[in-house]
Amino acid sequence: MYNYMPEGISAFLKKRLDEHTVSTIKYDYGTVTKTGDGVARISNLPKCKYGELLRFENDVYGMALDLEEDRIGAVILDTSDTVYENSTVIGTGEVAETPVGNSLLGRVIDPIGRPLDGRFLIPEEYYPCERHAPKIIERRPIDTPLQTGILAIDSMIPIGRGQRELIIGDRQTGKTSIAIDTILNQKNSDVICVYCCIGQKASSISGLVETLRDKGALPYTVVVAATASDSPAMQYLAPFTAASISEWFMEKGKDVLVVYDDLSKHAVAYRTMSLLLMRPPGREAYPGDIFYLHSRLLERSACMSEACAGGSVTALPIIETMAGNISAYIPTNVISITDGQIYLEEELFHSGIRPAVNTGLSVSRVGRAAQCGAMKRVSGTLRIELSKFREMAVFARFGSDVDSSTAKLLKKGQILTELFKQKKASPFTVFEETVILLAYKCDVFDDIEIKRLNDFTQKLFAFLKKSYSVLASSINQSGDLSDDDEAELKKAFSIFKGSYHE
């Protein structure tokens, strides 16, 4: 890529020199009248545009976000305190941009495109961070599933490519784990992943990147990181940068998964910025346009029509609630924007049900259109069974006598709850999910002890992978389950069960 000989360097410089034309240099300038807390007030830049990048002295950049008649309020993007009163500010005429392209895969960058992983970044193109969402006519209905590898989600709350599915729950309930497991499960598919960390600890981000690297997920992932020590302006920009990066891939026809972790901290950073810019506070001190902030971000996730290259961006925004209160301001805002939510409960988490998905309150508004054929066949009545089980479980707790049909319902519900438990970073393939649910439907697990279910399923997988590997790979690839396949699997279940011993 690089010619290491000196002739190469001088030829490169000469070429650049030839391409440059000398013209009159003209720029707008203003003066800093007041500065502090990451916000600078500037006078005398009459032609400044909204969102324009301003260059302060010492090459510090800021963004003009407040345009008044006689002054401008700008947020400083760096945390350095080297902006002085009466210093000159030059308007660059450009808006905040981010590098985009294939060279970003496997890299960790900050919201204005500077690499954080110690290597150079040579971007192919630059996209502005704020862009218009795709128009209505350019979109198509969602029809392709995005496999998360988590049984509870793929069977009852299926996610399609191009959907926005919110992951909402209290702290330490496994929200980030679900997002990471989904990213890890895209290893053998063509989905590109963008992970946006907003306001998190640098140590957590580093641990996350290591996990992605160890599991081989980093080559198809871009990490955009705005740590808790970055300025509110950087934390505000981070998700927009991630959206622009994913849009570049989408416009090339690829499917992209973007995770915003988390939008609660994004809202807090925007609130900080708005209060410092003296914008009037609204409910919970958030500015009046907090809804618009998230709606314009999430609208950029779409499923494009064939005429527009047919790509898609699936968004998994994460919101942290306090004490399970999903009727707070920001959670209700984002719930009304997204196409469904995955609700994680602390009680379920502490009682050992992990992932702690509350299937009653979780919903996917795209639904069955986003499920592959095999899952559609085997997951028909799961939600209803689980909700009936939950109703009846109250009676069982009081030790009351139940009739045989209720007893069977309770037993099946317990089996299903146990089957939905899954270890972290162990996604299931389509074949494994289909096998579990088909076996459940055919009552294969009914006479196995609950605590032996995991062992039974693992041995069943091993047996099927050894003796039915052709069937396994065909189901994995096509996602369909024909009648013959189903009959073959049922036969396999009875053979395995006969030979299973503890």
Pairwise CA distance, residues 327 & 43, whole Å:
42
Indicate the residue among 119 and 451 with the shorter CB distance to other proteins: 119
Which SS3 state, helix, strand or coil, does residue 193 take? strand
Size of the site for other proteins (CB under 8 A): 26
Q: Of the listed pieces 2-10, 134-142, 151-159, 472-480, which binds other proteins according to CB under 8 A?
A: 2-10
Please calculate the CA angle 202-204-209 and round it to the nearest 5 degrees. 95
Among 59, 118, 470, 484, binds other proteins (CB under 8 A): 118
Pairwise CA distance, residues 189 & 191, whole Å:
6
Indicate the burial class of 458 (C-beta count within 10 angstroms; 0-12, 13-18, 19 or more). Answer: exposed
Length reported for the chain: 502
Indicate the residue among 42 and 342 with the shorter CB distance to other proteins: 42
Among 7, 11, 24, 166, binds other proteins (CB under 8 A): 24
Indicate the residue among 99 and 149 with the shorter CB distance to other proteins: 99
CB of 186 to other proteins, least distance (A): 22
114 binds other proteins (CB under 8 A): no
7 binds other proteins (CB under 8 A): no
Which strands make up the sheet holding 191-200, listed edge to edge? 108-109, 221-227, 191-200, 255-261, 312-320, 166-169, 340-344, 363-364
Chain centre distance of CA 456: 33
Q: Of the listed pieces 1-9, 125-133, 203-211, 478-486, which binds other proteins according to CB under 8 A?
A: 1-9
13 binds other proteins (CB under 8 A): yes
Pairwise CA distance, residues 93 & 54, whole Å:
8
462 binds other proteins (CB under 8 A): no
Q: Of the listed pieces 56-64, 114-122, 308-316, 476-484, which binds other proteins according to CB under 8 A?
A: 114-122
466 binds other proteins (CB under 8 A): no
Pairwise CA distance, residues 436 & 466, whole Å:
17
H/E stretch holding 436 reads helix 430-441
The stretches of 281-345 forming alpha helices (DSSP H) are: 290-298, 329-337
Indicate the residue among 88 and 172 with the shorter CB distance to other proteins: 88
Q: Is 365 a catalytic residue?
A: yes
Catalytic residue among 71, 365, 383, 390: 365
Among 69, 114, 119, 280, binds other proteins (CB under 8 A): 119
CB of 126 to other proteins, least distance (A): 13
Q: Which residues inside 33-92 make contact with other proteins, applying CB under 8 A?
A: 44-47
Q: Give the residue numbers marked as catalytic.
A: 365
